[in-house]
Structure 1
């Protein structure tokens, strides 16, 4: 029998369905496991709280899986190789070491090699159980990624206070912009049935430092604040609590009318204010550690304070006052725009919120998208970052790939997040990065946050594909520390997901690091944006001018005609560039200095415009579109070379999705070039293949049942 087992293990890795995410804990190679076992022979960990029990369970699970044998449980250290876990308050052994835990705060941790009762040990300590939990996951990550365990001296704490996933899940089980199946919340069976998946969701989030979850769509149904749904939310909060995760709810501003029977939702009306206070009191009776409210107001038809001639600050502060006695926060979205003829949509958030700087209550975070438009494949950073020093600004990223190929395109978003976070606003001089605005260090704010629109659904693999899991992982790691390297995060995820074989790690990381640029090239190169199909956002429709409002149409944004292309946002156009700090504005406005990647975002230029490369703009566009397709083809070739190094089930899924991506990248390239060529009448550069079909063919395509689209 042992021979049969050995033969099976020597062949392909056993098939995996992706459920375990990056917490696979598969057995390490024998030599590596042997080396690590001597450092994990005993586990000294308490279970007097739910979080302590979760820590001990995770360490037993992780060490047992990775090393082939779980450490022995003990209440004291009897020989070398113990792992000692706890806080000074929960563990006499940790208290006796007199560790310097200052500066670690509530969520920080220390992982250190030490001598305990005369024996070599590894100590995982923090000021609270939650800090120790994060330290335990860090220790397991070291083993998963084959890092040395001798002479450990790791200290870490989150740079951002609120690290939150925003679920755009509806109460009917659908998910707006969700590409991984239905909602993971089974509202119908809650609060009675608590699925194991809820606990696994909490484990995954805790492993990367996420500490909050907004359960429902920003286009909120007022029923979520009803008694029945609050009981359901409380049940989920009970599952999440041991893992340091707070529950938040998206609320509809008009709920006092629709749920409370009032005649108004005016934020200055005493009855309205009383209704929200009483609702907050009710919530906190059920969920004592409730995080607060997320609000989308006066945007895309949602009700808000402007319906009563009040400001966004009036609305946010009314809710903040209701939550403040309980320690709750308001996350007020800055994604707003009106339909004013001739007005540049990218300017409207700045125009509405910049004048309100300093008017928001201390427990209000203004949640700002990374770019001024709407989660496009590439945007310049949002000019609100750096422009509101008296207001706490919270970053909003999109983890679900609404504009980047849904579930089937391999697009690693760690590079997008880092591009936005590392952008220099120049608001207080050089080095005033978006990351410093978000983590509060630029303007001295203690209440800080990063939100990510979740890509999680009921699919067995959680995210619709294995590589989409990397974006959830990268979001959490960068929310914890916005300065981390996108490549280092990709490498850690790859090692945890596929193992430490260099023959797999190196090519997979290289694929990931180039994937987002490839998508930009075959979708929206050189600063183009919003070229996708109307409503469903699937596929190219640069010719579309049929939306109910101009600024929902591609033609509004690319402004292509016979002579040129691009949106003039300089002083001769909409002057959106003036919303940036003067040094940034001067760079973006200067054709000689603006980076090529933002050219058509800020400038309308002739097709014959000479790029710094010496090529015409038209030639450069054709080259970028073609380069994107070529890059996907090379990704397919790279993945094909990994056959036999990756388990069959995950290998097949990725291979099939890359085939879809190559076909759709070609579609994007050909449809866009056919349309633009119909306007400019220019030939393609020598050596470049024409579109496979006439423009009318691409214009004839229609799609009725596109994933992830739900009306609100």
Structure 2
């Protein structure tokens, strides 16, 4: 019988050859394409039947399981009804009689954890997917399907998993007119004009994708907030989205414009200590919860880049946050308050400003406030040291803010897997309060019992058919969810899982794909900002190189502010002899970053201004090393192109061609970055190029004349 099944499966697969239908990337990592014949035979006995109770979340879990098994194995298991049999998959919570009879260790899994275990029920060999709450069952189903997608054994299963962070949210920088700030994947997927009357099926697929990686919240609107979204007619639109997302365990959040009491309420002030202002916000938040009872809360950007905030009234960020948090607290809502602040009137090093403003407020925020801190102190650069606030506010819940959209890493066309960047930051040791206090541990450890924890990611999602603007940018959405679930995760296993689910299980495909991903971010650093340089992008749209720009109104808007290259040397002196930004770190970290002999090469010019002839660990001068790194980055992209060419015929033509074309764009733009940067820094340093390294294709004036005013992603 087994041989007959194998022959039948072989004939079926032969009837649908690779490339028989063009894939767009819409299905993301949930493609559920048929596994190889040998695996289908192995999985058949363990997936014969699905037994499940009914509830909104378990219903979608059940539907997802049926959908996945039909796609992966080519057949649908027996459905809910009927007696339990061998090979059944049993879904349920602690309240399900069959689950309760097993005495499973569910208590320690919390509200969102799950267990997958091989068991015997009523004398039958089954697989149990159980949790304390329905949403945990849904997460468990996605994990079970991933086992099949990644060709893992279903024998003797014993898996338990639970998220280490409570709030795991995407921040959409989407405006109400559907323009996405720093978005490179088309318009906003929220079609507000058609809401609430029409709920695009894409919203359900969005929820499925997020639930599959454990994301449990979405901030629908831009941090540069528009108060109109708080109007009653807009709240009805938000309610419609919340109804779609609810069965998938996803709460909706909104950004709050701090001046909304003036703009919507007709008040003369937004002073957080004014009783009328507090009353207006309380009434507004009560209204939101009447419309959306499980509303997650608010995100606020205040007193940064021209946004209104409590400083306008000589109040602190804690004053502003606490006023909103008090209104949210009776409903169980969370207030996320961004620590991204810098001001034109502040002459201090931009690296220092958030720490200076927020660290003295430690312990002064309400319990339901999460201070949202970017991974680095400047602004989502290709490489930054970890933000000094991590570990410096032990009495205040801090949440990580990563940027999934690649504002500074080549937009959608450059392959840059950000899992390696995030792992680098999360595993960094803050030494606060002691050695081993990594950024990940700080995020995971509540400041007191019951305190909220979280991570946010600036979404890279839009209306493009492939969601993210490119096939490989989907990996960053996927990786964010995995790191938000477990900040101690590692980038390479995540890349392997994504590659297998997205491109298929053939090791001849996944091995080179993972290798490309794992080296891709370092390549971008090399051809854009090597050796700790940062913020050298052309201003406004951040597209292409502009290290020569030095004439903008605010000092910190100018790339020249960050590299400080002159005839003597290059780099930003943040040691005790300079701005002393290193003092914001714990002493062991400050000692390393501040010591020219101990600072990692990768952060040298972030913390030190060094002579052009400064000798690197390689034995080369810093000038020579810069040129070597620029060339290394370009060469890495060429190598990725070659690797991808070798996969032709092993991947569907449409997606293969798109990636090929994007890699070609990346190679050209990496060369542009290299040539423009080398030409500029050579004009400053007056040094000859190292032997064996080609001169830029054009003179510096040619690169300075390049103008791209319509590059996507600008703010509005």
- Is TM (by shorter chain) over 0.5? yes
Structure 2 residue 506 is matched with structure 1 residue 501: yes
TM-score (norm 1): 0.98
The Cα of 1:546 is off from its aligned counterpart by 2.4
Q: Determine whether 1:17 maps to 2:24.
A: yes
Query: 1:272 — aligned with what?
Result: 277
Instruction: Work out which of the residue numbers 613, 616, 624 in structure 2 matches 1:611.
Output: 616
Q: How far apart are the structure 2 equivalents of 1:151 and 1:442?
A: 38
Q: 1:371 aligns with which of 372, 376, 394?
A: 376
- 1-side partners of 2:552 and 2:318: how far apart? 31
- Measure, in 1, the Cα distance between the counterparts of 2:51 and 2:271: 56
Q: Which whole-Å CA distance do the structure 1 matches of 2:179 and 2:698 have between them?
A: 36
1:461-505 CA-to-partner distances (Å, cap 9, x unmatched) read: 000011000000000000000111100000000000011101001
1:55-74 map, 5 Å: 55-74=61-80
Q: 1:116-155 deviations in whole A, cap 9, x for unaligned?
A: 1101100000001001110010000000000110000000
CA contact (8 A) 2:565 2:681 kept: yes
1:3 to partner: Cα distance:
11
Shift of 1:77: 4.5
- In structure 2, relative to structure 1, the CA distance for the partners of 1:13 and 1:575 (3 Å cut) is farther
Residues 13 and 646, structure 1, Cα contact 8 Å, conserved in 2: no
For 2:186 and 2:646, locate their aligned partners in 1 and report how far apart those are by CA, in whole Å.
30
Match of 1:231 in 2: 236
Contact 1:42 1:77 in 2 (8 A): no
Query: In the alignment, is residue 44 of structure 1 matched against residue 51 of structure 2?
Result: yes
Q: 1:29 aligns with which of 32, 36, 42?
A: 36
Q: Structure 1 35/267 Cα, relative in aligned 2: closer, same or farther at 3 Å?
A: same
The answer for the alignment partner of 1:166 in structure 2 is 171
> Separation in 2 of the partners of 1:250 and 1:3?
53
Whole-Å separation in 2 of the counterparts to 1:265 and 1:173: 27
Tell whether the 8 Å contact from 1:182 to 1:458 is kept in structure 2 after alignment: yes
Q: Deviations over 1:378-436 (max 9, x none)?
A: 00000000000000001000000000010000000000111110000001111000001
**Residue 61 of structure 2: SS of its match in structure 1?**
helix
- Give the whole-Å Cα distance in 2 for the aligned partners of 1:113 and 1:6: 30
CA distance change for structure 1 residues 477 and 8 in 2, over 3 Å: closer, same or farther?
same
Q: Contact (CA 8 Å) 2:89, 2:127: kept in 1 or not?
A: yes
Report if aligned partners of 1:46, 1:56 keep a CA contact under 8 Å in 2: no
**Cα pair 1:412 1:467 within 8 Å, conserved:** yes
Matches within 5 A, 1:457-472: 457-472=462-477
Selected match of 1:157 from 140, 159, 162: 162
User: Following the alignment from structure 1 to structure 2, what is the Cα–Cα distance between the partners of residues 593 and 323?
Assistant: 47
Match of 1:298 among 297, 303, 308: 303
Residue in structure 2 matching 1:530, options 532, 535, 560: 535
- Stretch deviating more after TM superposition (80-89 or 67-76): 67-76
Paired position in structure 2 for 1:689: 694
**Residue 702 (structure 1) aligned with residue 689 (structure 2):** no
Counterpart secondary structure, 1:331:
strand
Assess if the C-alpha contact under 8 Å between 1:392 and 1:445 holds in 2.
no
Task: Give, in whole Å, the separation in 2 of the partners of 1:152 and 1:179.
Answer: 41
SS of equivalent to 1:112: strand
Question: For the residues of structure 1 that align with 2:447 and 2:257, how far apart are their CA atoms?
Answer: 32
| Displacement of 1:98 | 1.8
In structure 2, C-alpha distance between the alignment counterparts of 1:444 and 1:685, rounded to whole Å: 58
CA distance in 1, matches of 2:512, 2:98: 44
Match of 2:334 among 311, 323, 329: 329
> Is the contact between residue 113 and residue 121 of structure 1 (CA under 8 Å) also seen in structure 2?
yes
The 1:512–1:77 alpha-carbon spacing in structure 2 relative to 1, beyond 3 Å, is farther
Whether contact under 8 Å (1:254, 1:265) holds in the other structure is yes
Shift of residue 52, structure 1, vs aligned partner = 1.5
Shift of 1:212: 0.2
Partners of 2:395 and 2:447 within 8 A in 1: no
Q: How far apart are residue 443 of structure 1 and its match?
A: 6.8
Correspondence list, 1:12-411, <5 A: 12=19, 14-47=21-54, 49-75=55-81, 77-89=83-95, 91-340=96-345, 342-411=347-416
CA contact (8 A) 1:437 1:443 kept: no
Q: Distance in 1 between matches of 2:513 and 2:597?
A: 36
TM-score between the two structures when normalised by the length of structure 2? 0.98
2:23 and 2:216 mapped to 1: Cα distance?
Answer: 28
Q: Look up the match of 2:661.
A: 656
Any stretches of 5+ residues in structure 2 without a counterpart? 1-8
Structure 1 CA distance for aligned equivalents of residues 85 and 559 of structure 2? 68
The SS at the match of 1:346 is helix
SS of the equivalent of 1:268 reads coil
Contact 1:170 1:217 in 2 (8 A): yes
Deviation at 1:29, TM superposition (A): 1.1
Once the two structures are superposed, residues 620-653 of structure 1 have per-residue CA deviations (whole angstroms, 9 ceiling, x without a partner) of: 0000000000000000000000000100010000
Find the residue that maps to 1:460 and give its secondary structure.
coil
1:122 aligned counterpart, secondary structure? strand
| 8 A Cα contact 2:446 2:452, kept in partner | no
1:546 maps to 2:548: no
Q: CA deviation at 1:114?
A: 0.2
Aligned-partner SS, 2:125: strand
User: Residue 585 of structure 1 aligns to a residue in which SS?
Assistant: helix
RMSD between superposed Cα atoms in Å:
1.4
Matches within 5 A, 1:434-445: 434-440=439-445
Maintained 8 Å contact 2:295/2:333: yes
- Report whether the alignment pairs 1:427 with 2:406: no
Cα distance change on mapping 1:313 and 1:463 into 2, 3 Å: same
The residue that corresponds to 1:447 in the other structure is 452
Alpha carbons of structure 1 residues 192 and 551: separation in structure 2 relative to 1, 3 Å: same
Alpha-carbon distance, 1:342 to partner: 3.9
Tell me by how many angstroms 1:14 deviates: 3.2
Distance across 1 between alignment mates of 2:143 and 2:509:
23
Where do 5+ consecutive residues of structure 1 fail to align? none
Q: Name the SS for the 1:467 alignment partner.
A: coil
Change in Cα spacing, 1:4 to 1:117, as seen in structure 2 (3 Å) is: closer
Which SS does the other structure have where 2:394 is aligned? coil
- Over 3 Å counting, the alpha-carbon distance change for 1:5 and 1:106 in structure 2 is closer
SS of 1:54's equivalent in the other structure is helix
